[in-house]
Structure 1
């Protein structure tokens, strides 16, 4: 996927989260382990959100592999240490397709 398509999907995901009451803290946080697309808060919980897009849900969700989740966890820990954050957090995913946006909470290995 091109960076432009990725940015469009992330913009849609940010609007979706905003409509659901999340506060966007940061976008495209990088560490040596990888990137987190969106970092947001809601109800005192920090959400690290991976955004995937595709023509359909199955094609998009297949790109969230165990390796990707492991890198997200490591990058989340870097972010929390860098920012002195010690409260609750979770890893989530948003799948953007031409017809809908799907929010998946608490993705795990």
Structure 2
């Protein structure tokens, strides 16, 4: 049987990004962009989280009363620029971690800057750079038996592949630099 042309096979990178975007949405994030690109590079997912805190506020009235006012619905928006690495077993780059070089990080930083310039209303939001590690396995029709594996944050099966979100690393550039 002849091999099918590469264009016939699904892009496992996009399948991994789909899984991560769905997981982020299920945890309260709003997906602003997928595959945001500039001349510097591309960011797989840009997501926003609007958290609420019960912080104390200093208002003019509370200053006069010499006590802080309580605000139960203060909104703090956070932007995550997410790099998704989808790999199959036996990947050469530590599940995608080694592919996030300082050069790749610099491209993502620059592209994030372009995004913030295009959306100045988001320029004051807190920002971080996250990495999602997705494991992809071709589903074999002859698969029998049970295999033990690490618990996944999310899973999906699509186009003959089983995908598992193995790890989500918030503020990963900091930890990759520290542990690199």
Relative to the length of structure 1, the TM-score reads 0.89
Count of aligned pairs: 108
Where relative contact order (Cα < 8 A, 6+ residues apart) is larger, the structure is 1
| Distance of 1:54 and 1:40 partners within structure 2 | 22
| Distance of 1:48 and 1:29 partners within structure 2 | 10
C-alpha RMSD over aligned residues: 1.8
SS of the residue 1:67 aligns to: helix
| Distance of 2:88 and 2:112 partners within structure 1 | 28
Name the structure with the higher helix share.
1
1:63 Cα offset (Å): 1.0
Relative to the length of structure 2, the TM-score reads 0.56
Rg larger for = 2
The runs of 5 or more residues in structure 1 that have no matched partner are none
Runs of 4+ in 1 over 4 A off after TM superposition: none
Please name the residue that 1:8 is paired with.
15
Q: Is the 8 A contact 2:85 2:95 kept in 1?
A: no
Q: 1:3 to 1:28 in 2, by over 3 A?
A: farther
The runs of 5 or more residues in structure 2 that have no matched partner are 1-8, 52-76, 137-151, 153-163
Please name the residue that 1:46 is paired with.
79
Please name the residue that 1:103 is paired with.
168
